Amino acid sequence: MQSCIDCHTKETPSIVAEWKRSKHSTSMVSCLMCHGVQHTSAKDVDKAGTVKPELCIMCHEPQGIQFAAGKHAMAWKAVQTLKEAHWQPMAFIEGIKGCDSCHKIGFKSEKEIHELRTEGAGFGIASCDVCHTRHSFSVEEARQPQTCRVCHRGFDQPLWEMYASSKHGIRHALKREGALPENTLTPTCQDCHMQAGDHGVKTAWGFLAVRMPMPEDKEWAAAQTTIMQALGMLDPKGKPTPRYQRIKELDLARLTKEDWQKERDRMKKTCLECHPPVFVDRLFENADRMVMESDILLAKAIRIVSGLYKDNIVAKPWNYPYSFPDFFAVHDARTPIEQKLYLMFLKHRMSAFQGAFHTNPDYALWYGLFELRVDLAEISALDKQLRASAKKRK
């Protein structure tokens, strides 16, 4: 039998070259350790073994345990479980252009792997290689903030953009360019989110920026309740729904005080490595207030749209369970007022609070809070127009 490497040096020379650069090549982790021995020629390529994260974890247990406890392990399940986000045609969701290209990260069942290989993108099962790119599987590459940029960027989470133009990111860039020395202090995404190499990424507020128990401030608590109603987590009476249960299972939000505080404390510890406690406490206080300010504006807008559904002025889509907009069905928005509301939720509120936490006042204020105010003014004006023309029709 011709060896894997002999034949692949001809067939896929760049893969062999990358593998030769990896620590695996010098540690006896050869092709067949990951792909098996079933495939031996060009005729039986379909027999080559699929690499799952479970395989990497067999040899890298500590990272595996951490990874399993974090949010990345859930990314795949989140899009599979929240079918509401899937009202759109599947062709858009599957494959390289859709949700999978970012959400492929995480554990999958044998059935899902089979489907991905035969009908879906056909790649991206191993998960660990989103940061340790095959076949060099490098630690150095995974340590660069650009690694996270592939997914954490753009429309609803411009985290790379915020970081790159923040004090921290700019200093990092200057260091990379050689303008500042190698030992220049400045944190990367990994320093803050993967402290001491911890693979279990998770934050206090998460992506949705809702939590339990409710904040003490009454107006803020009312706003968070309204937002959770639009997320379908609470019913119109404020009682948890079946979706609340699913969100809990997927760990989409921290739903106990301890859970939330644990992540907050972990994060603060990182800042304290370089900044004094007074500075850090005030920063987090301010950023939490930015969540509050944004919530109050968004909640007002939700109540307006909800009122239009209740009064039958805008038809409530059939698939929304309550007289509330359903933020998980973003792609369904039909009328300009609903579309505005989704922008508020998915773009401007995200910018406001993500910018505040990523020390980027430009995103927090101009792309965030300011836009939210403009949105609310426009939604209020549209509400008046819609109600006036409904009256005329009667």
Contact call for residue 367 and ligand HEC (CB under 6 A): no
- Of 15 and 174, nearer to ligand HEC (C-beta) is 15
Contact call for residue 320 and ligand HEC (CB under 6 A): no
DSSP string, 66-120: HHHHSSGGGHHHHHHH-GGGG-S-HHHHSSTTSTHHHHT-S---HHHHHHHHHTS
Between residue 61 and residue 90, which ones bind ligand HEC under the rule CB under 6 A? Answer: 63-64, 67, 71-72, 74-75, 78-79, 82, 85
**Distinct helix (H) and strand (E) counts, the chain:** 23, 0
Alpha-carbon span 335 to 386, nearest angstrom:
11
Contact call for residue 35 and ligand HEC (CB under 6 A): yes
Alpha-carbon span 29 to 266, nearest angstrom:
35
Q: Nearest approach, Cβ of 103 to ligand HEC (angstroms)?
A: 5
Amino acid 352 reads A
CA dihedral 26, 27, 31, 35 (to 10 degrees): -160
Q: Are 293 and 196 in contact (CB under 8 A)?
A: no
Alpha-carbon span 23 to 4, nearest angstrom:
18
Contact call for residue 21 and ligand HEC (CB under 6 A): no
How many residues touch ligand HEC (CB under 6 A)?
Answer: 115
- Of 109 and 312, nearer to ligand HEC (C-beta) is 109
Alpha-carbon span 68 to 106, nearest angstrom:
8
Amino acid 23 reads K
Between residue 218 and residue 257, which ones bind ligand HEC under the rule CB under 6 A? Answer: 252
Q: Nearest approach, Cβ of 143 to ligand HEC (angstroms)?
A: 5
Contact call for residue 16 and ligand HEC (CB under 6 A): yes
Q: Nearest approach, Cβ of 7 to ligand HEC (angstroms)?
A: 3
Contact call for residue 192 and ligand HEC (CB under 6 A): yes
- Of 265 and 311, nearer to ligand HEC (C-beta) is 265
Contact call for residue 365 and ligand HEC (CB under 6 A): no
Site map (CB under 6 A) of ligand HEC, residues 160-189, x = contact: x--x---xx----------------xxx-x
Between residue 335 and residue 354, which ones bind ligand HEC under the rule CB under 6 A? Answer: 354
Q: Are 76 and 15 in contact (CB under 8 A)?
A: no
Using the rule CB under 6 A, give the single segment among 8-16, 215-223, 297-305, 339-347 that binds ligand HEC: 8-16
Specify which residues 234 forms β-bridges with. 240
